[in-house]
């Protein structure tokens, strides 16, 4: 029998509505698991147990009264510490915001609360969500529950571990360079990066004074133990915000059949480890055996050009949170001729300090890529591609600029972890990650299912099909031995 903590959010919400379980009972399960597992994995960094207990008790009273209940009614959850949460410490992983307690929720947090969810705590992030592993000077390092010497990814590492370990019903994360998708891949859970712009991302703390505007490429999206939960949560999170809500309405198109699938599992621009590649190929084989038409020669856009555009634009987007010494270093490569440049660090350096005219010209290159993607999707329902070149790498004390990883026996920059996510994110496309297998070391491997712009339901539909074929979420191995 599936234990309560393993169940998906939709199942738990139904159980609360039917009085099969109470919100208070479910909350105590999560709080007990936080007490048990958090000292080892360090996913949850702030807990408001008393406030959550009061809210859970009120939620149970509402069920007894027969009140109208939201789709997430009574579900205790954690929220990424990069998202402002009213009345609860929200730091963005930065010393500068050590005592920051917002008066208002980020819109995404407000929406899940309005649907009935109860925020019991916040989860760990790297400072300003700016790393592919999860560490900051305030709260320390978050560890992977499949192997605690390895990274759970970043920047939503704390959120992913909270979901994987059953410390929460679901999570709300953010993704500018794979920050939902990479941790989902590394920890064996499901995550959805929505089409850019359909979920409000205000309230995102990526620098002091941040949260008032929306960063380019960045999105807010759900992490959960199943694809059905991702669909449920997207329905709660998506929609016009602020001034737009006065006259705009979001109407996502229905899912395409998901039978015409492109496959792009490897590329010289970011080679994938052979063991990971074999797992991805096996997952594609299951879809083909299930009746999907597979185009395994798919190259919708040029990988190298996509990387140049992505690294320039993501560097510009994250630049407000970079320290002065990094900005000074970036200026040292500002005048490197672009036509001779193939180094992503140089591209990022230039992007960090580029003038607005230069940004406009790079944005035009992005628009050309987006048109190429749109043309490709006229003949395909979805694309299958890697989340990253490796499964969860070992934790490292090196910073992101000097950190390395091993791919097919060759040392590569750890920054390559964001290449495959960046390929998709820079074009504003939706992507669902679902676990499809494990390596010989027992580390999870996920795959990206990418839909056309605003084709979120197609990405989710194909991911749900894969989940049925390969089995989906299983509890991390270290939970059985701690």
For the chain, give the longest Cα–Cα distance. 69
Confidence of residue 403 (pLDDT cuts 50, 70, 90): very high
Residues 249 and 286 in one domain: no
d(CA 133, CA 316) in angstroms, rounded, equals 21
pLDDT tens, residue by residue, 361-370: 999 999 999 9
Question: Could you report how far apart the first and last alpha carbons of the chain are, in Å?
Answer: 21
Residues 73 and 100 in one domain: yes
* % of residues, the chain, pLDDT over 70: 96
Q: Assess if residue 348 is contained within a domain.
A: no
Which range has highest mean pLDDT (125-139, 328-342, 347-361)? 125-139
Three-class SS of 217-240 = CCEEEEEECCHHHHHHHHHHHCCC
d(CA 136, CA 154) in angstroms, rounded, equals 11
Q: What pLDDT score does 340 carry?
A: 44
Q: What pLDDT score does 330 carry?
A: 66
Residues 314 and 426 in one domain: yes
| Active site residue ranges | 80, 155, 179
pLDDT of residue 126 exceeding 60, the answer is yes
pLDDT of residue 216 exceeding 80, the answer is yes
Q: Assess if residue 328 is contained within a domain.
A: no
Q: Assess if residue 217 is contained within a domain.
A: yes
Residues 96 and 223 in one domain: yes
Q: Assess if residue 332 is contained within a domain.
A: no
pLDDT of residue 325 exceeding 80, the answer is no
Sign of the alpha-carbon torsion through 349, 353, 355, 356: positive
Judge contact between 56 and 118, C-beta under 8 A.
yes
DSSP 128-187: GG-SSS-EETTTEE--BTTBTTB---SSSHHHHHHHHTTSSS-EEEEESSSTTHHHHHHH
- Please give the model's pTM, rounded to 2 decimal places: 0.96
Q: What pLDDT score does 322 carry?
A: 80
Q: Assess if residue 91 is contained within a domain.
A: yes
Q: Assess if residue 387 is contained within a domain.
A: yes
Domain that holds residue 44: 4-254+476-480
Residues 293 and 238 in one domain: no
Residues 244 and 316 in one domain: no
Query: Closest by alpha carbon to 306, among 367, 239, 218, 385?
Result: 367
pLDDT of residue 298 exceeding 90, the answer is no
pLDDT of residue 303 exceeding 60, the answer is yes
Average pLDDT over residues 98-111: 98
Q: Are strands 260-263 and 293-295 parallel, antiparallel or unpaired?
A: parallel
CA 308 to chain centre: 22
Residues 415 and 383 in one domain: yes
Residues 138 and 281 in one domain: no
Query: Closest by alpha carbon to 71, among 202, 237, 198?
Result: 237
Overall domain count for the chain: 2
Q: Assess if residue 338 is contained within a domain.
A: no
Residues 157 and 293 in one domain: no
The CATH number of whichever domain residue 373 belongs to comes to 3.90.1300.10
Residues 210 and 313 in one domain: no
Residues 408 and 282 in one domain: yes
Q: Assess if residue 340 is contained within a domain.
A: no
- DSSP H or E stretch at residue 367: helix 356-377
Residues 82 and 187 in one domain: yes
């Amino acid at each position: 029998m599936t234990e309560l903590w393993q169940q998906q959010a939709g199942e738990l919400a139904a159980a609360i509505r039917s009085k099969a379980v109470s919100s208070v009972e479910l909350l105590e399960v999560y709080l007990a698991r936080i007490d048990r597992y958090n000292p080892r994995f360090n996913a949850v960094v702030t807990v408001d147990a008393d406030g959550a207990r009061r809210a859970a008790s009120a939620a149970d009273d509402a069920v007894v009264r027969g009140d109208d209940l939201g789709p997430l009614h009574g579900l205790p959850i954690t929220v990424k510490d990069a998202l402002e949460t009213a009345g609860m410490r929200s730091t963005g992983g930065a010393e500068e915001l050590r005592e920051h307690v917002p008066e208002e929720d980020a819109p995404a947090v407000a929406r899940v609360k309005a649907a009935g969810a109860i925020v019991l705590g916040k989860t760990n992030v790297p400072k300003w969500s700016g790393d592919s592993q999860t560490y900051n000077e305030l709260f320390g390092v978050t560890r992977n529950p499949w192997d605690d010497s390895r990274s759970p990814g970043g920047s939503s590492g704390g959120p992913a571990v909270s979901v994987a370990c059953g410390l929460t019903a679901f999570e709300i994360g953010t993704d500018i360079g794979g920050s939902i998708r990479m941790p989902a891949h590394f920890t064996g859970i499901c995550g959805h990066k929505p089409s850019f712009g359909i979920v409000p991302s205000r309230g995102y703390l990526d620098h002091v004074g941040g949260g008032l505007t929306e960063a380019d490429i960045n999105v807010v999206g759900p992490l959960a133990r199943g694809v059905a939960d991702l669909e449920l949560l997207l329905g709660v999170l998506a929609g016009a915000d602020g001034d737009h809500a006065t006259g705009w309405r979001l109407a996502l198109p229905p899912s395409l059949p998901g039978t015409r699938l492109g496959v792009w599992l490897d590329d010289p621009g970011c080679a994938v480890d052979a063991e990971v590649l074999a797992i991805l190929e096996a997952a594609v084989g299951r879809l083909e055996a299930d009746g999907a038409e597979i185009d395994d020669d798919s190259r919708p856009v040029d990988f190298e050009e996509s990387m140049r555009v992505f690294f320039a634009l993501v560097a510009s987007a994250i630049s407000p949170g970079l320290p002065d010494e990094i900005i000074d270093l970036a200026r040292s490569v500002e005048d490197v001729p672009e036509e001779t440049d193939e180094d992503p660090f140089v591209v990022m350096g230039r992007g960090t300090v580029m003038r607005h005219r230069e940004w406009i010209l790079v944005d035009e290159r992005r628009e050309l890529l987006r048109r190429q993607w749109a043309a490709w999707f006229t003949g395909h329902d979805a694309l299958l591609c890697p989340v990253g070149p490796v499964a969860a790498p070992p934790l490292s004390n090196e910073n992101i600029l000097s950190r390395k990883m091993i791919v097919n026996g060759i040392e590569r920059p750890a920054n390559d972890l964001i290449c495959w996510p960046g390929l998709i994110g820079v074009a504003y496309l939706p992507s669902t990650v679902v676990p499809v297998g494990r390596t010989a070391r027992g580390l999870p491997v996920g795959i990206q299912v990418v839909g056309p712009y605003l084709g979120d339901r197609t990405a989710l539909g194909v991911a749900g099909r894969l989940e049925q074929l390969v089995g989906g979420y299983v509890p991390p191995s270290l939970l059985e031995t701690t």
